Amino acid sequence: MKLLSQLRTSSFQLALLYMVVFATSVFLLLAFIYWRTAGFMTAQTDETIEAEIAGLAEQYRGSGINGLISIIRERVARDPNAKSIYLLTTDDFLKLAGNIETWPEGSRSESGWINFTLNDSVGWSGPERLARARIFEVQGGLRLLVGRDVDELTNLKRLIEGAINWGMGITLALALLGGFLMSRSTTRRIEVINNTSRRIMNGHLSLRIPTRGTDDDFDQLAENLNQMLDRIVYLMEGIRHVSDSIAHDLRTPLTRLRNQLESTLMSVDNDEARDQAAKAVAEADQLLSTFNALLRIARLETRGNSADMKPVSLGELVADACELYEAVAEDKEQNFEHSVDSEVSIEGDRDLLFQMVSNLIDNAIKYTPEHGQIRVEVRKEGNDAVFEVGDSGIGIPDDEKDQVFQRFYRVGKSRSMPGNGLGLSLVSAVAEIHQGTIRLSDHHENAEYPGLKVTISMPAYAPGRKRLKDTQTLPAGEPGEQTSPGELKSL
């Protein structure tokens, strides 16, 4: 599988393209060498035959037909290996001299050249060979064939062709191996960038892409990306600092304002004025709840306070939360079910985990209509502890599931309900601290009420297992501040 992914990389495809171009270049070069070499050897053979023909023609002009026959017989006698081929016949193909008996069959060019095989069909008594000859007519109605044994030349050509084929095969194999190794090296460096980028996207904003110090293209790319990340983190920290400072600075005067309104509510006798004061106190409580939530999320994300993680029974914690909210669900006539494995434990902060669990259960009750269904489950899957809340409420559209963890983001259907869009942001921050992953999915197929199923997987606690590293936890609120289910509902 890893090999297939390696073959699909752009670096390997680029190396494959280079291999094709390189192999084509090598093939053209070898083909040119073969064409020149073979052509040169063939030209040498033809020149040798032409030289013999010139000598026979000179002998014929000086001594006539008898002299031609004598020189052919003399040359045949001096050549026991029969490298030269001769045949002199009359016009009716009666042999006069030569070392073959009959005219060979084969395609004959306009210039008289013919390629044929020396075998029994031409009266050849030796082993079968290839030959090349030229045929022409001699004055007096005679026919003359002069040729050469080209078997060695043909074998040499075949040897060259085989060498070229093997050379091409080796070239392709080496090019393929080189392309694979080159793409593997490139893929490794790209994978380092991808892995670091994925971890950064998962919230580890302090990570940076490593460089090798070679100042090559990848180092320059990594440095540019790191500078871009530094700038993004700087801007995000600036915005976060401003929002957190506003929340922190306004919380104290809002608290005083809320207390003054509450004192006014207790002192006025007019019913209408008391109702207005009560509404103002409720609005102040909502604003204070929003600011408290912002500060809690900020502390979770920045990990400002540290505390040792301790083993926590997730099953018992969820059971306590279910007991707390079961009465609320009964008031809305909802079917509240829970299946909790009390043996499931994780390593974490109990207060934060209870806040996360309570927030999700409260949301399920809030966004599920009357007579709806809510199911809470805790189970163990492999090495993970799984906490799951499902409901038959309005659900979240698929295109918004990745956005609901942003601060103040609210789904369109829920904007008319109380809340400020910080609940799932807090859940996400708590889950991240506990190295958990969150998955949102539809709980039902009902188009109007598809429901929502929130599944959080966290590493299950096992004695002897290495404790969570670099985790920062903090209490649910400021010192002296308590978190209640009523406050969680406002998130």
Q: What is the DSSP string of 405-472?
A: TSTT---GGGTTSS--S-HHHHHHHHHHHTT-EEEEE-S---SS---EEEEEEEEBP-TTSPPPSS--
- What was the pLDDT predicted at 366? 87
The closest alpha carbon to 211, from 199, 201, 196, belongs to 196
Q: Which of 74-88, 138-152, 400-414 is predicted least confidently?
A: 400-414
In angstroms, the CA 428 to CA 476 distance is 15
- What is the token pair recorded at 381? 């899957």
Q: Which residues, in sequence order, are bridge partners of residue 144?
A: 88, 136
Predicted model pTM: 0.46
Q: For the packed helices 151-201 and 10-78, what is the interaxial angle rounded to 10 degrees?
A: 170
Q: What is the mean pLDDT of residues 113-127?
A: 80
- What was the pLDDT predicted at 421? 63
In angstroms, the CA 56 to CA 71 distance is 7
Q: What is the mean pLDDT of residues 167-173?
A: 83
Q: Which H/E stretch holds residue 133?
A: strand 129-138
* pLDDT bracket for residue 387 (50, 70, 90): very high
Does residue 477 have a pLDDT over 60? no
- What was the pLDDT predicted at 149? 84
Query: How many CB atoms within 10 Å of residue 159?
Result: 10
Alpha helices (runs of H) in 303-395, residue ranges in sequence order = 314-331, 350-366
Q: What is the mean pLDDT of residues 461-481?
A: 47
Q: What is the mean pLDDT of residues 418-443?
A: 79
Q: What is the mean pLDDT of residues 63-79?
A: 84
Does residue 307 have a pLDDT over 80? no
- What was the pLDDT predicted at 488? 35
* pLDDT bracket for residue 322 (50, 70, 90): very high
Does residue 93 have a pLDDT over 70? yes
225-230 long-range Cβ contacts below 8 angstroms, 24+ apart: 225/193, 225/197, 229/200, 229/205
* pLDDT bracket for residue 491 (50, 70, 90): very low
Q: Which residue has the tokens 């000179």?
A: 58
- What was the pLDDT predicted at 49? 84
- What was the pLDDT predicted at 474? 35
Does residue 85 have a pLDDT over 60? yes
In angstroms, the CA 386 to CA 202 distance is 19
**Taking the mean position of all CA atoms in its chain, how far away is CA 135?**
68
Does residue 470 have a pLDDT over 80? no
- What was the pLDDT predicted at 475? 35
- What is the token pair recorded at 109? 């060019």
Q: Which residue has the tokens 């079968």?
A: 128
Contact call for residues 156 and 41 (beta carbons, < 8 A) = yes
State whether residue 123 is helix, strand or coil: coil
**Taking the mean position of all CA atoms in its chain, how far away is CA 349?**
37
Q: Which residue has the tokens 């869009």?
A: 421
Most confident of 92-106, 224-238, 332-346: 332-346
Q: Which H/E stretch holds residue 386?
A: strand 384-391
End-to-end CA distance of the chain: 45
Q: Tell me what the pLDDT averaged over the chain comes to.
A: 78
- What was the pLDDT predicted at 203? 67
Q: What is the mean pLDDT of residues 63-82?
A: 83
In angstroms, the CA 438 to CA 454 distance is 7
Does residue 243 have a pLDDT over 70? no
pLDDT higher for 279 or 247? 279
Does residue 489 have a pLDDT over 50? no
